Amino acid sequence: MLPTIPDVIKRLSVIVGNPKISLSEISSFISSDPALTSRILKMVNSAIFGFPGRISSVTHAVTLLGFNVIKGLLMGVTVLDLMQTAMVGLREHSVGCAIAARTIAEMKGMKNTEDASVGGLLHDLGKVILLLQFPQDYKLVLEATDQKGMLIFNAEKAHFSETHAAVGLWLAEKWKFPKNLTDVIAYHHKPQLAKNAPVDTAIVHLADILVRTMGFGYAGDAFVPAVSPASFEQLNLSEEEIREVLRNIESMRGMGDDPAW
Ligand SMILES: [Fe+2]
Ligand SMILES: [Fe+2]
């Protein structure tokens, strides 16, 4: 089952999937669209990325973030937009997950914490595609989580025989997403399978669960899945560190529902 893709994402995928595109071409693409420009700047200056100073121009953002992150971010802001129509609360869930992931990446001394931010934003990309392409079917999936007390991952599997993680993997490969982002999207529910970015994937896996425990946003069910013991051990966060991640998520409550995003 291969879903068709909304036009806006298709147009963007031409840029994201083009290995030959230059940073200045990406800059001009963003700058030619004022709404996109303001969203990108808002995002890079928010707690999702946590840069200390203000980034005031697209050129500055593009140079600072580099190819992989800017491509992921470009996809991220567009997908966040679609999330709002696809499933109320999914955007807030994704924003919360990005903040949590960035915070954990910082605690772990990761060099490129932006990768965790983008991974958090896009980890449930497959849900957006499934929701937009099969709204009726997905409604049944959501009813199943509600009435049968199922996790969304299992309800998708029961209904579509595939999950949002598999659909996300398919898209990420099709668009030649950076390998670490592809891992996060494909394996955030089974972090032990990540080969290219096991730490980023473990981080987003835990971030996803922490955001759910906070009742922050909505990701398709009312339950909190179990944390992978291996990931939990791998990240080795203290109780105080976990509390700090939760505080950071809490401080951004409501942001994902702000229409300015
Ligand atoms: Fe997910
Ligand atoms: Fe999620």
Query: How many angstroms separate the CA atoms of 86 and 134, rounded?
Result: 10
Closest ligand to residue 154's CA: 1
State the pLDDT at residue 261. 61
Cα–Cα separations (whole angstroms), residue 181 to 34, 75, 118, 123? 27, 12, 8, 8
167 phi and psi, to 5 degrees?
Answer: -65, -40
Q: Judge whether 91 and 29 are in contact, CB under 8 Å.
A: no
Distance from Cα 189 to the centre of ligand 1, integer Å: 6
Q: Judge whether 47 and 99 are in contact, CB under 8 Å.
A: yes
Distance from Cα 249 to the centre of ligand 1, integer Å: 18
Query: For the residues of 20-48, what is the DSSP string, one character each?
Result: T--HHHHHHHHHT-HHHHHHHHHHHTSTT
Query: How many angstroms separate the CA atoms of 149 and 99, rounded?
Result: 28
Number of C-beta neighbours around residue 211 at 10 A: 27
Q: Judge whether 150 and 144 are in contact, CB under 8 Å.
A: yes
State the pLDDT at residue 259. 59
Distance from Cα 188 to the centre of ligand 1, integer Å: 6
Number of C-beta neighbours around residue 213 at 10 A: 12
Name the H helices within 56-134. Answer: 58-86, 90-107, 113-122, 125-133
Retrieve residue 180's tokens.
């670490």
Nearest to 64 by CA among 92, 37, 41: 41
Q: Judge whether 20 and 34 are in contact, CB under 8 Å.
A: no
Which CATH code fits 7-257?
A: 1.10.3210.10
Closest ligand to residue 96's CA: 2
Distance from Cα 22 to the centre of ligand 2, integer Å: 32
SS3 142: helix
SS3 194: coil
Closest ligand to residue 163's CA: 1
Each residue's pLDDT, cut to its tens digit, for the chain (261 residues) gives 556 677 888 888 888 888 899 999 999 999 999 989 999 999 999 889 988 778 999 999 999 999 889 999 999 998 888 888 888 899 999 999 999 999 999 999 999 999 999 999 999 999 999 999 999 999 999 999 999 999 999 999 999 999 999 999 999 998 889 899 999 999 999 999 999 999 999 999 999 999 999 988 999 998 899 999 999 999 999 999 999 999 988 887 777 666 556
Cα–Cα separations (whole angstroms), residue 226 to 10, 213, 230, 238, 254? 35, 11, 12, 18, 26
Distance from Cα 194 to the centre of ligand 1, integer Å: 14
Nearest to 259 by CA among 39, 79, 31, 6: 39
State the pLDDT at residue 86. 85
Distance from Cα 126 to the centre of ligand 2, integer Å: 10
Distance from Cα 199 to the centre of ligand 2, integer Å: 17
Distance from Cα 243 to the centre of ligand 2, integer Å: 20
